[in-house]
Amino acid sequence: MSQADRRIKPGRNAVEKAKAVKRRRGYIRGLYVLIPVIAAVFFAIACLVSPNREFSDGENRNLAQFPKASGQSLMDGSFFKGINDYYSDQFVFRDQWISLKSGVDVARGQRIENGVIVGSGGYLFAEPEEPLKEAYEKNNSAINSFADGHPDIHISMILAPAAANILKDKVPGNIYVRDQMADVDEFGKRLSDKISFINAGNLLSEKKDEYIFYRTDHHWTSNGAKTVVDGAAENLGIKADTEDFDKYTVTEDFYGTLSSKSGLGTAKDSIDVFASKKDVEYYVRYADENIISSSMFNSEKLEEKDKYTVFFGGNHPLVEIHTTAQTGKNLLLFKDSYANSIVQFIYPYYDNIIMVDPRYYYEDISQVIKNNKISDVLFCYSGNILFTDVSLSDCLEGA
């Protein structure tokens, strides 16, 4: 039988088959119609019933509310855009949808989610930043000229590469990771001999199997900070005995900023704080708010999303710690947030510690040095900040 014949006279079987195909196709497609209909009705009801959320902790931003109509906003379309934003920001189970998206991304092989490296063992890593030439060189030469201008002050620097450069075996092998360890070494080499330089990466690498970095936050843990202080004590000119501290676990329910940024809740972290067993009292003064506190730990922050801010309640332009140590030493600490968990281990060795965060501090630093009779200066930084932010060199200018 030729092909044409077959087309003209299909067998009984073929007709049956064609009918079955048609029936199935219609049936399945018919059910498809239900999917968007059910979804539309469900989400319409959910949107009306669920209360509006004001703020997203994970994103650290205000969520869109229903827009106000005005002549202007109707004409330029911002009112309608506002409705779109409102609908998606107030979408029911929004956080769960986002987690689902991130989870599926990782499951199908994505290893960098919203700029966060997804490592093994529940570890998330901030990407080690490529140094910006301007920031790298300016900060370096600013520190050198600061040292030249203050020959009588003992100056040291603790610089930490990103966690991904230290916990290398937890970083996926198929992605590019900037070797910040080398950047840190190079930075140290370019500093003058007057500065006692410590690459914290070397100290931390020796203990890389311990809990030295949070799994879901870019900061080192208190244990990591302790490791660094132990190793750096000689350079700092202190006789630190970090065994002489009591440990308190203040939370076991910490999802850090990397968790927020990626939308992935890979693991829970715990935060420890330490208190010296020595008989040294202290109080803390926050210059920006002129608040005095008897503790460097702010337990209110443990109720919030970013629990790392339990140390000093986060970053401030200038914080003073006054102690009863009577060592005759006064420390000026230039720092980013990594240093916030260092101070708990070094306060017993100084009479006064002045913490300055150059990203928020715009006053004349030479006055601070004079008024507080500064004998020691410590620069404590992470590479991701120091190599990309020029505020330190701005702050040191003219000091």
Report in angstroms how near the CB of residue 39 gets to other proteins at its nearest: 6
Q: Taking CB under 8 A as the rule, does residue 11 contact other proteins?
A: no
As a whole number of Å, the CA-based R_g of the chain is: 29
Q: Which two tokens stand for residue 98?
A: 């986002």
Q: Where are the strands (E) in 258-345, listed by range?
A: 269-276, 282-286, 291-293, 318-323, 330-335
CB 340 within 8 A of CB 312: yes
| Site map (CB under 8 A) of other proteins, residues 271-310, x = contact | -----------------------------------x----
Report in angstroms how near the CB of residue 307 gets to other proteins at its nearest: 11
Q: Taking CB under 8 A as the rule, does residue 24 contact other proteins?
A: yes
Binding region for other proteins (CB under 8 A) out of 87-95, 183-191, 343-351, 391-399: 87-95
Residue that has been written with the tokens 């070797």 in this structure: 179
SS3 content of the chain, % helix, strand, coil (to 5): 45, 20, 35
Report in angstroms how near the CB of residue 164 gets to other proteins at its nearest: 14
Q: Taking CB under 8 A as the rule, does residue 176 contact other proteins?
A: yes
| Residue closer to other proteins, measured from CB, 89 or 185 | 89
- What's at 102, amino acid-wise? S
Q: Which of 89, 137, 185, 320 binds other proteins (CB under 8 A)?
A: 89
Q: Taking CB under 8 A as the rule, does residue 175 contact other proteins?
A: yes
Q: Which of 53, 111, 208, 278 binds other proteins (CB under 8 A)?
A: 111
Alpha-helical regions (H) of 169-236: 180-189, 200-206, 222-236
Report in angstroms how near the CB of residue 312 gets to other proteins at its nearest: 13
| Site map (CB under 8 A) of other proteins, residues 322-361, x = contact | --------------xx------------------------
- What's at 127, amino acid-wise? E
Q: Which of 53, 65, 67, 94 binds other proteins (CB under 8 A)?
A: 94
Q: Taking CB under 8 A as the rule, does residue 150 contact other proteins?
A: no
Question: What is the spatial distance between Cα 309 and Cα 312, in angstroms, rounded to a whole number?
Answer: 6
Binding region for other proteins (CB under 8 A) out of 6-14, 17-25, 191-199, 276-284: 17-25
CB 315 within 8 A of CB 340: yes
| Residue closer to other proteins, measured from CB, 89 or 230 | 89
| Residue closer to other proteins, measured from CB, 350 or 379 | 379
Q: Taking CB under 8 A as the rule, does residue 13 contact other proteins?
A: no
Question: What is the spatial distance between Cα 155 and Cα 237, in angstroms, rounded to a whole number?
Answer: 10
Burial track 164-189 (b if 16+ CB lie within 10 A, e otherwise): bbbbeebbeeeeebbebbebbbebee
The DSSP-derived string for 362-391 is -S-HHHHHHHTT--EEEEEEEHHHHTT--H
CB 216 within 8 A of CB 241: no
| Site map (CB under 8 A) of other proteins, residues 47-86, x = contact | -----------xxxx------------xxxxx-x--xxx-
> Contact positions toward other proteins, by CB under 8 A?
17, 20-21, 24-33, 35-37, 39-40, 43-44, 58-61, 74-78, 80, 83-85, 87-89, 91, 94, 97-98, 100-102, 104, 108-112, 114, 174-176, 218, 257, 260-261, 263, 306, 314-315, 336-337, 384-385
